[in-house]
Amino acid sequence: MVNVKRVAVLCLAAVGVAVSGSDVLAGGPMGTATIKGKAMLSAAKPSMRAIDMGADKACAAMHSKPQYPQGKMVFPDGSIPYAFIYLKDGVTGKYDTPSTPVEIDQQGCMYRPHVFGMIAGQPLLIKNNDDTAHNIHALPKKNAQFNFSQPKKGLENKLEGSKTFTRPEVMVKIKCDVHPWMSAYAGVLSHPFFAVSGKGGEWEIKNVPAGKYTLAIWHEEWGTMEVPIEVADGATVEHTFTYSKAAAQRDVNVREVTVGSGPIARASNP
Ligand SMILES: [Cu+2]
């Protein structure tokens, strides 16, 4: 059963709320293990320049403070939000497609949430909360593109069936052709074992069935990493993904040290 209230939490998640897909999207074999950790950056922080919204005065007027690119955010302790963490390999169960949509809102000429996960085939509800025109343009590689405008506040489009993302794809970029600073990323999976890092870079994937997996991370600025991981029933395994400069160049396959904290939980390098 999909818990509607918790799905709303998933959709509205901003920085500060670590989001776990397996906490909200059931409908298949669920277990009792937890995989959690942090997303960190040990390399130099990227330079942060406020977004220039001057091209659309309506957008600029919506903010009293400077807005910064979400993908470049780094907290003072080096932790990073908006990383997508998921089980890349090893999930064997079949999971239902939730009928409750994932929501993306256009608010203050930014997408909220900026990064989110969903199950392939799950409806996508796209809303315009702004007094200006937006264009929603998805740029998938394995799924069908969509590209339409929402010229007024209050408009919404529900994409479902063949109109939503029907195939697993990590990640799908969504952008606005009117406001070049606007982007969002969807991690489309066949299962609910994903999370998005929040404040403190923290993330948590709950209800994982016992087994061996490949745990992977994606971040728009810093690239991808993965690590083999094994969990037992009831165990909690912790893993910190740390992006160094070398790992940040492009897609890489970095196997990192993992700390196991469950009774017989462990994660090992092969
Ligand atoms: Cu826009």
Digit-coded pLDDT (tens) for 136-190? 999 999 999 999 999 999 999 999 999 999 999 999 999 999 999 999 999 999 9
Phi-psi region of 251 (alpha: psi -120 to 50; beta: other; left: phi over 0): beta
The CA 76 to ligand 1 mean position distance, Å, reads 30
The CA 77 to ligand 1 mean position distance, Å, reads 32
The CA 236 to ligand 1 mean position distance, Å, reads 41
Which residues are 119's β-sheet partners?
189
The CA 183 to ligand 1 mean position distance, Å, reads 9
Residue 269's CB is within 10 A of a number of other CB atoms, namely 9
Q: Which CATH number fits domain 4-260: 1.10.620.20, 3.60.10.10, 1.10.540.10, 2.60.40.420?
A: 2.60.40.420
Q: What average pLDDT does range 209-220 have in this prediction?
A: 96
The identity of residue 136, as a single letter, is: I
pLDDT of 110-151, one tens digit each?
A: 999 999 999 999 999 999 999 999 999 999 999 999 999 999
Residue 268 has pLDDT above 50, yes or no: no
Residue 242 has pLDDT above 70, yes or no: yes
The CA 208 to ligand 1 mean position distance, Å, reads 37
The CA 250 to ligand 1 mean position distance, Å, reads 28
DSSP string, 190-218: SSS-EEE--GGGEEEEEEEPSEEEEEEEE
Which tokens belong to 197?
Answer: 């890092």
The CA 118 to ligand 1 mean position distance, Å, reads 22
Residue 194 · residue 87 · CB < 8 Å: yes
Residue 243 has pLDDT above 90, yes or no: yes
The identity of residue 241, as a single letter, is: F
Cα 142 to Cα 144: distance, rounded to the nearest angstrom = 7
Q: Comparing C-alpha atoms, which of 131, 137, 129 is closest to residue 59?
A: 131
CA 167 to chain centre: 16
Residue 184 · residue 232 · CB < 8 Å: no
Through-space distance between the first and last CA atoms of the chain, rounded to whole angstroms: 37
pLDDT of 8-66, one tens digit each?
A: 333 333 455 556 777 666 678 899 999 999 999 998 888 889 999 999 999 999 999 99
